[in-house]
Amino acid sequence: MKKTIVMMLIAIFAVSMLLMGVGCKKEAAPAEEVAEEAAPAEEVAEEAPAEEEAEAEAEEPFPSTISGEVTFMSYWTGGVEAEALDMIAKKFMEDYPNIELTIIPKPGDEIYTVIQTNLASSDPVDSFMFWPDAALKPFVDQGLVAPLTDIYEAMNYDEIAPGVYNWARFPGHGDTPYALPINKLVFATFYNIHKFEEAGIEKVPETWEEFLDVCQTLQDAGIVPTARSAGTIGLPHWSWLDRFGTRTMDDYGSFLQSVKDLSIDWTDPRFTKACSYWDEMLPYWHPDSTSLTYGDIYMMLARGDIAMQTLGSWIIGSYETEMGMVPFEDYDMFTFPIIDPDIPIQETGNCNSAQLSMAGKDNIAAQAWIAYWMRPETQEMYCNYTSNAPAIEGIKIDSPMISKISSVFAGRKLCYQFQLGAGLHDLVVAEVEKRSYGLITQEKLAENLNNIYAEWREKEE
């Protein structure tokens, strides 16, 4: 019996070793073989159009004759986003018949660790989806992400997507772009129209005082005005901090930059002032806010358990496509109210972006894949399926809500949201969270954050 068990263990071990050895990437077909395969197709085409097509192909930065294999890691694992990704991948492989694209889905929760270990391994993915700005910076600093200067120039990206220009550039790396934003997400206050009508609210608030009046009116009508959550499971309260910051600071972007480059002193009166608005909101949160997840909150708005919530524009796809809500009948949006009329209007947003690993840097097929997202037809397909705002200008959007948001936010200064790198973000947010619920004073918050930053700077050295 003992011998049998030992032999089984040895067999399992041997099979494991074998499977580890099998996990190697196939080499892409050499260029000469690709040319031989392409030759019969060229012979079939008519002569004159073939010449014109060849000229057009030569000008096209990523011609359809490109061949190779591409791996792409994505955290769109479900819902309309995953469906859209699947559609675009299929279309891509139709347009590039010689490219084999493999999508590797990974849940968003795990993506930091998975990407970190994958990029540092001996067989990283060619390309991956992530969030630019502070989240991506550690990977850029480690030299794990390839510069995209050639793609930007080939696709004229800085001209066609000026709004997200800075999000792909990083301090310490000059003007080199490392990320390709594939959409643009902004934060708006979405509200349940039926609940507003039930409370007799006819006009959306434009000023902070009007906003508090609306909250009180809702509460008096027995309707919970809004909700938040606690911890890393839920709607991050930094999105509310962003709202307060954009409405009380002259240049919220520069404040955020000092937060991201660890130069801030958290006793900064700008931060103190922005945080003071938490206290006025305390009576209006859902009573169970601290146990709610992000998914709970946007569902609660749809069900009418809360009347309004500040959410990213990505929610439109879920509301309309998944839940069948009708814009302007079931729900609508307004921009966060003005707190200080002397402060210029600013907003925050974020985006999803595509990047190349250093393995994908010289993989022309991988470059073609991420550049594919910048084609107007791809942007149109993706944005209209998911009701997301496009990264590039001039895209025709069917969603009336996205069109409204685009027109409302047009011309407003947009900076990337409050977002720090892995680890530091959670530490800071945990302290801000306590302050936002009135559990610690502003002085204690500043002290705790300064201590966290001091320790973090020491570790960075």
Interface contacts to other proteins, rule CB under 8 A: 6, 9-10, 13, 110, 112-113, 116, 120, 138-139, 141-142, 144, 230-234, 286-292, 305, 422-424, 426-427, 430, 433-434, 437, 439, 459
Half-sphere exposure of 325 (CA within 13 A, CB side): 26
Taking the least distance from each CB to other proteins, the nearer of 77 and 321 is 77
Instruction: Name which of 134, 108, 111 is nearest 418 in CA terms.
Output: 134
CB of 359 to other proteins, least distance (A): 15
Taking the least distance from each CB to other proteins, the nearer of 10 and 45 is 10
Taking the least distance from each CB to other proteins, the nearer of 87 and 430 is 430
CB of 224 to other proteins, least distance (A): 9
Taking the least distance from each CB to other proteins, the nearer of 122 and 407 is 122
Taking the least distance from each CB to other proteins, the nearer of 97 and 423 is 423
Taking the least distance from each CB to other proteins, the nearer of 203 and 459 is 459
CB of 114 to other proteins, least distance (A): 9
CB of 229 to other proteins, least distance (A): 8
CB of 370 to other proteins, least distance (A): 23
CB of 437 to other proteins, least distance (A): 8
Taking the least distance from each CB to other proteins, the nearer of 329 and 458 is 458
CB of 412 to other proteins, least distance (A): 32
CB of 296 to other proteins, least distance (A): 9
Taking the least distance from each CB to other proteins, the nearer of 91 and 361 is 361
